[in-house]
Amino acid sequence: MPVVQLVWFRSDLRVYDNAALTEAMAQGPTIALFVAFRQSWYQHDMAPVKQDLIRRRVQALQQELAGLNVPLLLVEGNSYQDVQSVFEQLLPLGIARVYTEVEYELRERRRDQVLKDWLAVRGVAWWQCDRQCVFVPGSFVNGSGAMYQVYTPFKKRWLQRFAEQGVQVLAKPKPQAPVVLDLPLVTPMQGGNNSSADWPVQQDDVMQQLRHFCQQQVQDYQKLRDLPALDATSRLSPYLAIGAISVRQCIARLQVEAGADLQQANSGASVWLSELIWRDFYKHVLVAWPDLIKHQPFQTDTAAIRWHNDETLFQAWCDGTTGYPLVDAAMRQLNQTGWMHNRLRMVVASFLVKDLHIDWRWGERYFMSRLIDGDFAANNGGWQWAASTGTDAAPYFRIFNPVTQSERFDPDGIFIRNWVPELARLPNQHIHWPHKLPMSKEYPGAVVDHAKARQVTLELFRHARQQGEKSDEST
Ligand SMILES: Cc1cc2nc3c(=O)[nH]c(=O)nc-3n(C[C@H](O)[C@H](O)[C@H](O)COP(=O)(O)OP(=O)(O)OC[C@H]3O[C@@H](n4cnc5c(N)ncnc54)[C@H](O)[C@@H]3O)c2cc1C
């Protein structure tokens, strides 16, 4: 029986800078696999729009791999528990070794461990690389030998290592001789609703988006990145989340285009690099504290907060009918497109937790179920930051005023008018707080009074802290 190498694509849906693919093809004739584990995706609240992006990207990947004479087998799995039965079907192909890139989440790690052991018994080897981050999680420790809990020293260490080692991007492998398979598994992936159609999925288009951002937009990133009405950020997160592009490719392109600007503190290029370092930071945090996957607060005393969890208020937040125009515009954009600007993610997260007093985990879950770029580490990190429960989180008394945020970051109401048509005809001076005008009748009234809600939040946190202190004293 001929022997083949098998690359199992998961969150690394690309042919460039793909160590698993490169290594497999260096070892001999290679085939590739993608499994759609629908039930597990559903259990992880993966948004339909993200599933659709994956489906479209996998189809494009299939063509790109065909150009390398690597057939991509597409299998409709169900849950991770079926993983052995998927591989059972493939063993007759004569697989010598399975190549993968690590996934950091707990269930994925367990799935891989079970499969690795199962394959070993059947004489199939397992090869895994750890390249989701620029530097491998666990390789950075502070003076006490532990992972950093604060971003700034982590970033300093990261930059030091970057200056010493740089980043290495792997080229696309050269085509191999055609591989003939006995199993008719080269099928198109099923399902899909085309809801992600606004996001191109061809490798060249994604690379062009990166190039365009680094050539034309990054200079102004520092100045404009907080304005949601503008297209001033890279919008690469959906691709980074599914691995259609790697973080190393982003940094390498930035180095080429920004040159010396990258060394200037506060240049657009260096601020953008800092955002990519935030991405690494949250992944390192997840690996160091795997219990985060169980949605535990990082700061344990905040577990005692008695969230009000009013379902009617939660529904108003989800639907974008809170009566706070910027919050509502952001939520409606999320519901309709699967996308939300970073500034708005912070505003709506703060509003849910500190104005509506709803458990941050409700928002975290809702985001995952809607975001095209849903990524556990970044989403959990962002929510715990906003809720003041996480590593390097906002202090609990830092409470965004949703109206002031609106005046600062959408001063002319362009973003609001785009997503809240009831307010489209309002003059600028009323767009952020329309409730004084009779013409705003079609628009919902404010569900809470921000000033009062703020006081309640301070009280909730103080109470939880006192509880923590009491239990410390009694131990
Ligand atoms: C409550 C909340 C939830 C979030 N959920 C997610 C999520 O599920 N998936 C996700 O990718 N990002 C998440 N973020 C981070 C951030 O909002 C998005 O990465 C960013 O808006 C994506 O837009 P962009 O690609 O144009 O980013 P750019 O501004 O161009 O930044 C470049 C890249 O850096 C990374 N990045 C930027 N900011 C952050 C950050 N704060 N944390 C981690 N990585 C960052 C992303 O990969 C992003 O694509 C969340 C933030 C908050 C406050």
Per-residue pLDDT tens over the stretch 163-211: 999 999 999 999 999 998 776 555 666 667 889 999 999 999 999 999 9
**Cβ of 441: how many Cβ atoms within 10 Å?**
10
Label residue 409 by pLDDT band (50, 70, 90): very high
CA of 221 to the centre of ligand 1 (A): 14
Q: In this structure, are 310 and 424 located in the same domain? A: yes
Q: In this structure, are 341 and 438 located in the same domain? A: yes
- CA–CA distance from 455 to each of 196, 273, 392, 458 (Å)? 41, 37, 23, 5
pLDDT single digits (tens) 286-317: 999 988 988 899 998 899 999 999 999 999 99
CATH code of 29's domain: 3.40.50.620
Burial of 55 (0-12, 13-18, 19+ CB in 10 A): buried
CATH code of 253's domain: 1.25.40.80
* DSSP string computed for 346-366: HHHHHIIIIIS---HHHHHHH
What pLDDT is attached to residue 203? 97
- Residues in the chain, total: 475
Q: Is 284 in the pocket of ligand 1 (CB under 6 A)?
A: no
Q: In this structure, are 222 and 84 located in the same domain? A: no
What is the position in ligand 1's atom list of the atom closest to the CA of 221?
29
Instruction: Take residue 118 and report the two structure tokens written for it.
Output: 């199962």
CA of 378 to the centre of ligand 1 (A): 7
How many distinct structural domains can be found in the chain? Answer: 3
Nearest CA to ligand 1 atom 48: 237
In a domain, 143, yes or no: no
Q: In this structure, are 310 and 360 located in the same domain? A: yes
CA quadruple 114, 120, 122, 125: dihedral sign: positive
Domain enclosing residue 428, as ranges: 300-467
In a domain, 189, yes or no: no
Nearest to 44 by CA among 383, 371, 342: 371
Q: In this structure, are 21 and 161 located in the same domain? A: no
CATH code of 306's domain: 1.10.579.10
Q: In this structure, are 326 and 436 located in the same domain? A: yes
| CB-based contacts of 209, cutoff 8 Å, min separation 6 | 200, 234, 235, 236, 239
In a domain, 139, yes or no: no
CA of 374 to the centre of ligand 1 (A): 9
Label residue 20 by pLDDT band (50, 70, 90): very high
What is the position in ligand 1's atom list of the atom closest to the CA of 276?
34
**CA 325, 330, 333 angle in degrees (round to 5)?**
125
In a domain, 320, yes or no: yes
pLDDT single digits (tens) 66-103: 999 999 999 988 899 899 999 999 999 999 999 999 99
Q: Which residues are catalytic?
A: 275, 278, 307, 342, 360, 383
| CB-based contacts of 421, cutoff 8 Å, min separation 6 | none
- Is the confidence at residue 474, as pLDDT, over 70? no
Nearest to 251 by CA among 113, 131, 337: 131
Q: In this structure, are 120 and 162 located in the same domain? A: no
Q: In this structure, are 79 and 159 located in the same domain? A: no
In a domain, 178, yes or no: no
